[in-house]
């Protein structure tokens, strides 16, 4: 089970880097973006095992991606979106959206409604996690950078 989780985290990180490539994110940000995406997936999967509803784990995973993206943005002196947009993709309910569309095309209205509602819940949970992550004041993220500047230690 641990090996499977490690494989999933690596796949999420690589997928995040692939999305970064598709969105023309500069090459020097791929690794940090992969870490953010992989960490978000790790938090989601770790919490998923211990709760009944998946909305909390999805929200926590999105929060993790935002939190790490904001840290990397300060460290790398670039916009948060360089890490956030690709990093959130592992959490997007792509299969649920596909199954909703497939059920709609097949006129299976009950399945379409069920899958569609679940996908919307996931999307709302992702938005909630992003909003929570952006509620943390910027000064919390630039604190370490300011401390380094004052001490004269730059990396």
Q: What is the pLDDT of residues 73-107, one digit of tens each?
A: 999 999 999 999 999 999 999 999 999 999 999 99
Q: Give the position of tokens 């090996």.
A: 3
**Residues 84 and 33 sit within 8 Å (Cβ to Cβ):** no
**Residues 86 and 33 sit within 8 Å (Cβ to Cβ):** yes
pLDDT band with cut points at 50, 70 and 90 for residue 149:
low
pLDDT band with cut points at 50, 70 and 90 for residue 145:
low
Q: What is the pLDDT of residues 8-29, one digit of tens each?
A: 999 999 999 999 999 999 999 9
pLDDT for 44 equals 96
How far is 4 from 24, CA to CA, in rounded Å? Answer: 30
Q: Give the position of tokens 């604190």.
A: 143
pLDDT for 60 equals 96
Distance of CA 55 to the CA centre of its chain: 14
pLDDT at residue 3 is higher than 60: yes
DSSP string, 134-149: HHS-HHHHHHHHHHHH
SS3 at position 119: helix
Q: What is the pLDDT of residues 117-133, one digit of tens each?
A: 999 999 999 999 999 99
Maximum Cα interatomic distance, the chain, rounded to a whole number of Å: 65
pTM score: 0.88
pLDDT for 43 equals 96
């Amino acid at each position: 089970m641990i090996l499977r989780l490690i494989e999933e985290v690596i796949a999420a990180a690589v997928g995040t880097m692939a999305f970064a490539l598709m969105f023309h994110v500069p090459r020097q940000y791929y690794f940090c973006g992969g870490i953010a995406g992989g960490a978000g997936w790790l938090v989601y999967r770790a919490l998923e095992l211990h709760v009944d509803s998946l909305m909390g784990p999805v929200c926590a995973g999105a929060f993790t991606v935002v939190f790490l993206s904001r840290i990397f943005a300060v460290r790398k002196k670039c916009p948060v979106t360089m890490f956030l947009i690709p990093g959130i993709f592992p959490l997007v309910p792509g299969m649920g959206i596909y199954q909703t569309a497939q059920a709609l095309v097949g006129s299976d209205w009950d399945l379409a409604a069920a899958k569609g509602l679940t996908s919307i819940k996931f999307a709302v949970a992702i938005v909630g996690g992003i909003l929570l992550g952006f509620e943390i004041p910027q000064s919390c993220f630039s604190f370490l950078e300011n401390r380094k500047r004052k001490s004269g230690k730059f990396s």
